[in-house]
Amino acid sequence: MYKAEHLKLGSHVALKFLPHELSANEAAKTRFIREAKAASALEHPNICAVYDIDETPDGRLFMVMPCYEGETLRERLERGPLEIDEALAMAVQVASGLARAHEKGIVHRDIKPGNVMLTDEGRRATLMDFGLAKKLDATKMTQTGMTVGTVAYMSPEQALGKETDGRTDVWSLGVMLYEMLTGCLPFRGDVEPAVIYSIVNEDPELVTSVRKEVPPQVEALIEKALIKDVAKRYPGMEELLRDLEEISDQLALGIKERRFRALRKLRRRKRLVLGTVAVAVVVLAVVLIRTFYAPAVAIDSVAVLPFDNLSGDAEQ
């Protein structure tokens, strides 16, 4: 991948080259061209566009793409899990892009954090790399028994080399959301066969067992996305997207309500404190006035008591 300048437009672009050692590999060239065609057929704010595809004089294929400034979701996750609302926002955006791809009959088949670019200070997710994408009505692009995609994010049917459709992207997004929330993968192993065994045969640890504050509706969504029986999983990306948006809205509303209640409680406390202070000031003022500014009392009469003559002089 290279950063370049478009001389006619005066803007920066990214050039993605087919590796030199694969230039003579017809299968690799077919996959590269398929990626360019798949991405160029999709217009969506959460899907990386492809402007052009061309070939150098020495026979190396390359595609021209937007030049994004940011980091991949994989790089972001190296610093730890995301906040719950942030993870849901990323999942909504990726699901939105995938729903558009599925609408056009294209399955990505390689959803993973390394293929999601975060831009706009981490607020926008852009889906990259449609190299493993295929048309839903196309024949299988791999030989029987050959797996494609990154193992940890593969669906059971994909890991077993079976036919796949849009529900394999549903599974992979479920894995990625699990990782965004917990910082770990739901299916793990020391070697690839162990990971595949876990994907096909084992149930993942509950999200709330790893991170207790995850809302139950989010946990239920992930569980449904990770059902091994493809017939019981979300039937499509549109349905998963709808639930993601609904849960996000509910949580956002709940946060607003909690903030409103906290603000109202704070205002009540302020009024109580101000009222108490006001009463104390009034009482203090009354005491001070009575103490230092009390008016003098006038003498209306004088009492004269009997006198005793102690001088011994009768005339006194």
Task: Indicate which residues carry an active-site annotation.
Answer: 110
Sort 9 into a burial class: Cβ within 10 Å, 0-12 / 13-18 / 19+: exposed
Q: Distance between the two ends of the chain, CA-based, in angstroms?
A: 130
**Cβ–Cβ under 8 Å, residues 111 and 153:** yes
The secondary structure of residue 53, as a DSSP letter, is E
Closest CA to 180 of 224, 125, 253: 125
Q: Which helix (H) or strand (E) holds 62?
A: strand 61-66
Q: How far apart are alpha carbons 235 and 277 in whole angstroms?
A: 63
C-alpha distances in angstroms, 316 versus 57, 303, 310?
Answer: 147, 21, 9
Among 77, 186, 53, smallest CA distance to 125 is for: 77
Residue written as tokens 């066969």?
Answer: 193
Residue bearing tokens 């791809």: 101
134: which residues sit within 8 A by CB, 6+ positions away? 34, 106, 107, 109, 140, 141
The candidate with the shortest Cα–Cα distance to 163, out of 236, 230, 95, 234, is 230
DSSP β-bridge partners for residue 53: 63
